[in-house]
Chains A and B, each alone.
Chain A
Amino acid sequence: MGRSVSSIEHKLEKSFRLRLYFFSGIIVMALIIFIFQLFNLQIVNGSENSRKAEMFVRRSESLPASRGLVFDRNFKTPEDSPPIISNNQSLDVIVNTSLFKNNPEKVREFIIEFYKTLSIPKAYYESEIQEPKFSKKIKSKSPIILLQGVTPEQHERITLFDNIGRNVNFIPTPRRIYHMGPALAHVTGYVGLPSTNDLKNREIKSYQLLGKSGLELQYDQHLRGSDGFRIQKRNSDGNIEEERIIEHARMGNNLILTIDKKIQFAAYNALKDFRGTVIAIRPSTGEVLALASNPSFDPNILSGKNKQKRQDHFNKIKKNKGFLNMALQSKFPPASTFKTLVALAALESEHKINYMASNTFICNSRFYLKSSFAGVPDQEFLCWDKKGHGNNDLIHALEKSCSVYFYNLGYKLGSEAILYYSRLFGLDKRTNIDLPGEIEGFVPSNEWKKRSYGNKWYDGDTINLSIGQGYITVTPIAMTLFYMAIANNGKVYQPYILGEMRNPLDNSIVYRTTPKVLRDIPIKVSTLEALNQGLRAVAKTGTASRLLNQPDLPEIAGKTGTAQTRRRGQSSSNHAWFVGYAPFGAPADEQVIVGVFVEHGVGGAVGAGPIARDVFKAAFPPGSFVRREKIDAGPKMGEETPLIQEDDTIESDADEEVSP
């Protein structure tokens, strides 16, 4: 090796060494970069990455449970029996806001693009993307429902457009179908999506259905079941490779109601356009065979997918007070139906006041209350029949609904006893029927009057009370329950609508309601006999006989009532009552009690009678009963009409119509 070569070698060697150093520098640089990135991932962002990793591992999907079905009392098996409430599977489209890093602007952009792709006009969703509620919704991290119930065309379109399709999820959601619609609406209630309050207070996802009223609300937990849970592992393309079901969805239980479809339809249809309510109960158990209230609403619309329709319907019904279940949630003066209670009170106190059913009072259509103050004229109370009823004992007084008789009786008895028995029979208490929102009736008292009106209980108040007017107000169901006591020897059973709860898979009984005695009032046999006879007379030959004494009906016993309203000059504005039971004399487990109340029904017989007739007809179809008595062509009573009074405790009405 010559010098020249070694010098080249030497030079090369130097530059070679330099380059080696440079290269080692790169390796060291790489080391530093990697350690830095490790630090970044594991220390600085360690907790966030842990969370992300956890999301990967725990990426789960819920398996939605289907809501329980509801059947009427004639249920055999889920396959054979037509349901009252059922489900219809549909797909909802939801967008997962976390895919957009919960950025309201980005989400809004996407939503607009989504609807544009599906050619849905802005008006449909405009309000939903308004601030500030939109940002709040995004912050709450709940998935946003873009479409409820997607049509097959929409479904295809969404999957076609990958930029839309991969940012949304299809959630199978059942839709509720209410086969009886408005006819049973107050009992069934309806379902809807949870409100923000609901989401806060309950264990529920934002796209699950929630009972909002009626049985859907009352038994929501049981109907809803619980969602299942599965974990999915994905492969390198993100497709599902392995799936483990951690928890199976538990479907909601089916409910078997005590309601009889036929009777319910008859009851609801009979109400027609009148505001009112009908209740039908089996006195031996408390089973509610029918409970109708009008005006009603359509739960199919309220549970439906069209938001606009829902809003419109909701507003319309709300304006018309259609959500009010008049059987439970409104109270009215019981009017002449109260006379039965006065009679009961008197008979039970017969020794104290020395009174018997055979005692008579003369009615010449007027009753005078002596005034205790000099110079103040006597108060005059009228009977509804201007001609007067003549001399009547209790049974005939009930038959004709003679007010004067009861003025006398009430005056003799005193308000104490009447109010006592009112409370005893729970006229001021809830029945605790298994529906939400029941209110209590009102039974007045001396203390109450002093507090509210500043003066004490007057005799005049007692007189009014005797015919169920004045301060006392009762709910239709409470009044119906009173008559259950009469029909059932003093035993009042708790009314209930849920007969059984059954497992949806094997139809086994999960729960069966046992009839519960609400109150058991000891009533003298003689009292019951007298009252029953009187009530039978009402329907056979009395105020209700024209409509209810028919060969195609069983023997009915009951009481009409016509409640005054505080409206001047409108006789048609009186409320109509009828509460009765049939077949008269049959054992309690064959009987049905029907309570009818019609707002502005004109009169008890005219307004409530036809409805009661329809319901009894439905409850007792031909062949299901045998009439023991023949129809006799005896005198038929006139209609119990509104009262004419001239003093100011009761409104006077301009004209009263007396039907032949």
Chain B
Amino acid sequence: MEKRLEKLDYILIFCVVVAVTCGIITLYTQEFNIMDGPGKWWRQLIYFFMGMIAMVLMTRINYQLLGSYALPIYLFSIALLVLTLIPGIGYLPLGRGARSWLKLGSIQIQTSEIAKLATVILLGQYLVIREREIKNISVLIIPFLIVILPMVLIILQPDFGTAVSFLPILFAILFLGGADILHIGSLITLGFISLAIPMYVEFTKITLTQPLIDQLVKINNSELVSLVNKVQGKIWLLLKNKSVVIGNIPIDPPSQKLMHVLQEAIDQVMEENTNFFFQIFMNETIMTGFGLILIFISLVLLIIRFARGRDQFRQYYISLGVLGLSIIFASLVIKYIPFRENQVIRLTAFINPDQFKQGAGYQLRASKPAIGSGRFLGKGLTYGEMTEGRVPHVPESSTDFIFASWAEQTGFVGSVFLVFILLAIPLRGLQVSFESKDKFGSLLAAGIVALIFFHMFINLGIVLGLLPVTGLPLSFVSYGGSHLIMSMMAVGIIISIKIRKHAN
């Protein structure tokens, strides 16, 4: 029997096209005054056509097929990620700090984009297969691992922002997949504490740079003073005996003797300037010990529960166990994973951008006034002084901060319009998820919605000054072929799901 196909979701397609058009218009206006030949807008237009082709392709494919091949697709994307990490094959563009691309001739592919989509598909598939046991905590381990693997590979690029963006997507999919809320909560806590504590530690260490200089001045060690002054926050890397690069000049860790003096000074400074918590966090033994104690208690409770046979203490042993685990995790992260100074600053700068005049704080200090100066009707197309030109006042105005550019030029009216259009896309997607008769379809659609939504949410949050800067593009609008094509493919999948609504 011929399966009857539903109509395409024209509203969804319309929103996507409008969003991309806004992006292209914005890119055009930014380069309006630069006479360098066809610029980003032109390239984005080409990517758009490529994306259209990809989208149409995906609508023709039965999404069920994607489900069957979920694992190979995922493994393929992992392989790509591994390749990207290898210097020589992976491409590290000048000026950007991360090796995130694979170069094939003149085409650059950002492999993390492929990984995101592949992960969502695999997660969807897994949750459908294990749908019955979804309430069982053990079932959640695999999704966690499915996500951790690409995350780690991406962190190593290093692209902290993109890596972290996997987590909300994971939680959304788990949530929609029906996982126990307590479990999800625990995972969120685990992730948060494991990351927040090391964040806090790193941040404190960076604020210690200044008192450290003061201390070194006090003991009159001018060599160390000028060293610390030069490398600033990276002194902590030097302490771990790693070399550092400042402005293209490599700097080696200091000699043994100096290290000793430095360490002494650091101890002194830490004692004077840090609070109780910091000192605890830095202390591996205490942390691990404490974590183990919590896990121990949790295990005890677990045993008692099983012994009694009754379903009690559940919240206690789960929460305690999770807490304990996260503390141990945190300690491990502090010890083994070096956070790059600017990543840390970026994250914390959003709380107080004025404190970080240069660097991350600058982006935010520029972005909000740029948006605000659009006022009601905007400054008019090509009149966006803050965001146009070769060196715009708002950095990344063609990529991460492109919304600021649109907002500056089209004002409140244009901004609200674009936000509506953008958020209509995940909403339409949810509609499809709702109506799909098949669980995989629903989950897949929902997962893709989560993917798209969180990108938008995080990006707009950053640009509007509500979230810390992490470097995520705005789907459909930001300049960037890989993300645009992936996003359009994702929409293609949603449409594919929609039109096969009755075809099951």
Within 8 A of A (CB), among B340-389: 357-359, 362-363, 366, 368-376, 385-386, 389
A15 at the interface (CB under 8 A from B): yes
Within 8 A of B (CB), among A12-41: 12, 15-17, 19-20, 23-24, 27-28, 30-31, 33-35, 37-39, 41
State whether A42 and B363 are in contact (beta carbons under 8 Å apart), knowing that A53-B370, A161-B213, A242-B390 are contacts in the complex. Answer: no
Interface stretch, picked from B10-18, B69-77, B324-332, B411-419, is B411-419
Pick the most buried of A41, A161, A234: most chain B CB atoms within 10 A of its CB: A41
State whether A23 and B176 are in contact (beta carbons under 8 Å apart), knowing that A35-B419, A38-B415 are contacts in the complex. Answer: yes
Residues from chain A with a CB closer than 8 A to the CB of B308 are none
Residues from chain B with a CB closer than 8 A to the CB of A235 are 391, 395
Min CB distance A633 to B, Å, is: 79
Chain A: interface residue count, which band?
A: 35 or more
**Which residue of A16, A33, A46, A233 is within 8 Å of B393 (Cβ)?**
A233
B460 at the interface (CB under 8 A from A): yes
Specify the chain A residue showing the minimal Cβ separation from B229: A160
A350 at the interface (CB under 8 A from B): no
Min CB distance A55 to B, Å, is: 8
Interface string of A237-270 (1 = CB under 8 A from B): 1110110000000000000000000000000000
State whether A42 and B372 are in contact (beta carbons under 8 Å apart), knowing that A19-B178, A27-B453, A31-B419 are contacts in the complex. Answer: yes
**Which residue of A43, A166, A241 is within 8 Å of B375 (Cβ)?**
A43
Interface string of B390-432 (1 = CB under 8 A from A): 1111011000000000011001100110011001001100100
Q: Is the CB of A237 within 8 A of B178?
A: no
Residues from chain B with a CB closer than 8 A to the CB of A38 are 371, 407, 412, 415-416, 419, 464
Residues from chain B with a CB closer than 8 A to the CB of A89 are none
B9 at the interface (CB under 8 A from A): no
Within 8 A of B (CB), among A185-244: 233-239, 241-242
Residues from chain B with a CB closer than 8 A to the CB of A33 are 466
B496 at the interface (CB under 8 A from A): no
**Which residue of B363, B373, B395, B433 is within 8 Å of A50 (Cβ)?**
B373
**Which residue of A8, A52, A237, A239 is within 8 Å of B373 (Cβ)?**
A52
Min CB distance B215 to A, Å, is: 12
A56 to B373 alpha-carbon distance, docked (Å): 11
Q: Is the CB of A53 within 8 A of B386?
A: yes
Interface string of A321-334 (1 = CB under 8 A from B): 00000000000000
Q: Is the CB of B433 within 8 A of A234?
A: no
Q: Is the CB of A49 within 8 A of B372?
A: yes
Residues from chain B with a CB closer than 8 A to the CB of A48 are 372
B191 at the interface (CB under 8 A from A): no
B225 at the interface (CB under 8 A from A): yes
Q: Is the CB of A46 within 8 A of B373?
A: yes
Q: Is the CB of B416 within 8 A of A35?
A: yes
A118 at the interface (CB under 8 A from B): no
Q: Is the CB of B368 within 8 A of A39?
A: no
Pick the most buried of A8, A46, A48: most chain B CB atoms within 10 A of its CB: A46
Specify the chain B residue showing the minimal Cβ separation from A159: B229
A52 to B426 alpha-carbon distance, docked (Å): 34
A9 to B128 alpha-carbon distance, docked (Å): 12
Min CB distance A198 to B, Å, is: 32
State whether A49 and B423 are in contact (beta carbons under 8 Å apart), knowing that A38-B415, A41-B464, A160-B225 are contacts in the complex. Answer: no
Q: Is the CB of B178 within 8 A of A16?
A: yes
Residues from chain B with a CB closer than 8 A to the CB of A17 are 434
Q: Is the CB of B427 within 8 A of A46?
A: no
Q: Is the CB of B225 within 8 A of A15?
A: no
Interface string of B446-474 (1 = CB under 8 A from A): 10011001001100100011100000000
**Which residue of A37, A56, A233 is within 8 Å of B464 (Cβ)?**
A37
Specify the chain B residue showing the minimal Cβ separation from A48: B372
Pick the most buried of A8, A27, A236, A237: most chain B CB atoms within 10 A of its CB: A236
Q: Is the CB of B358 within 8 A of A45?
A: no
Q: Is the CB of A42 within 8 A of B175?
A: no
Min CB distance B454 to A, Å, is: 10
Min CB distance A155 to B, Å, is: 14
Q: Is the CB of B371 within 8 A of A236?
A: no
Q: Is the CB of A49 within 8 A of B430?
A: no
B-side interface mostly: helix
A426 to B26 alpha-carbon distance, docked (Å): 77
B132 at the interface (CB under 8 A from A): yes
Residues from chain B with a CB closer than 8 A to the CB of A162 are 210, 213, 229, 232
B172 at the interface (CB under 8 A from A): yes
Residues from chain B with a CB closer than 8 A to the CB of A42 are 371-372, 374-376, 407, 411-412, 415
A23 to B452 alpha-carbon distance, docked (Å): 13
Interface string of A1-15 (1 = CB under 8 A from B): 000000011001001
Within 8 A of B (CB), among A563-615: none
B284 at the interface (CB under 8 A from A): no
Q: Is the CB of B460 within 8 A of A49?
A: no
Q: Is the CB of A236 within 8 A of B396?
A: yes
Q: Is the CB of A23 within 8 A of B465?
A: no
Q: Is the CB of A56 within 8 A of B369?
A: yes
A103 at the interface (CB under 8 A from B): no
Residues from chain B with a CB closer than 8 A to the CB of A509 are none
Q: Is the CB of A160 within 8 A of B178?
A: no
Min CB distance B342 to A, Å, is: 9
Min CB distance B443 to A, Å, is: 9
Specify the chain A residue showing the minimal Cβ separation from B420: A31
Min CB distance B190 to A, Å, is: 21
A339 to B393 alpha-carbon distance, docked (Å): 79
A154 at the interface (CB under 8 A from B): no
Q: Is the CB of B372 within 8 A of A15?
A: no
A517 at the interface (CB under 8 A from B): no
A527 to B172 alpha-carbon distance, docked (Å): 116
Residues from chain B with a CB closer than 8 A to the CB of A239 are 358
B194 at the interface (CB under 8 A from A): no
A41 to B368 alpha-carbon distance, docked (Å): 7
Residues from chain A with a CB closer than 8 A to the CB of B357 are 166, 238
Q: Is the CB of A236 within 8 A of B172?
A: no
**Which residue of A35, A57, A242 is within 8 Å of B385 (Cβ)?**
A57
Q: Is the CB of B430 within 8 A of A27?
A: yes
Q: Is the CB of A12 within 8 A of B131?
A: yes
Q: Is the CB of A23 within 8 A of B375?
A: no
A178 to B217 alpha-carbon distance, docked (Å): 39
Residues from chain A with a CB closer than 8 A to the CB of B423 are 27-28, 30-31, 34
A458 to B459 alpha-carbon distance, docked (Å): 100
A391 at the interface (CB under 8 A from B): no
- Counting from the closest, the 9 A-B pairs by CB-CB distance are A49-B372, A236-B395, A52-B369, A53-B373, A238-B358, A41-B372, A46-B375, A50-B373, A53-B369
A positions within 8 Å CB-CB of B: 8-9, 12, 15-17, 19-20, 23-24, 27-28, 30-31, 33-35, 37-39, 41-43, 45-50, 52-54, 56-57, 160-163, 166, 233-239, 241-242
B positions within 8 Å CB-CB of A: 131-132, 172, 175-176, 178, 210, 213-214, 217, 225-226, 229, 232, 357-359, 362-363, 366, 368-376, 385-386, 389-393, 395-396, 407-408, 411-412, 415-416, 419-420, 423, 426-427, 430, 433-434, 439, 442, 446, 449-450, 453, 456-457, 460, 464-466
Provide a sorted-by-A list of 27 A–B residue pairs whose CB atoms are within 8 angstroms. A16-B178, A20-B433, A23-B450, A27-B427, A27-B430, A30-B453, A30-B460, A34-B419, A34-B464, A41-B372, A42-B371, A42-B407, A49-B369, A52-B368, A52-B373, A57-B386, A160-B213, A160-B229, A161-B213, A163-B210, A235-B395, A236-B359, A236-B362, A236-B395, A237-B359, A239-B358, A241-B391
**Sample of 10 more A-B contacts, CB < 8 Å, known A20-B433, A28-B427, A42-B372:** A30-B453, A37-B464, A37-B466, A41-B371, A42-B407, A45-B372, A48-B372, A56-B393, A233-B392, A234-B362
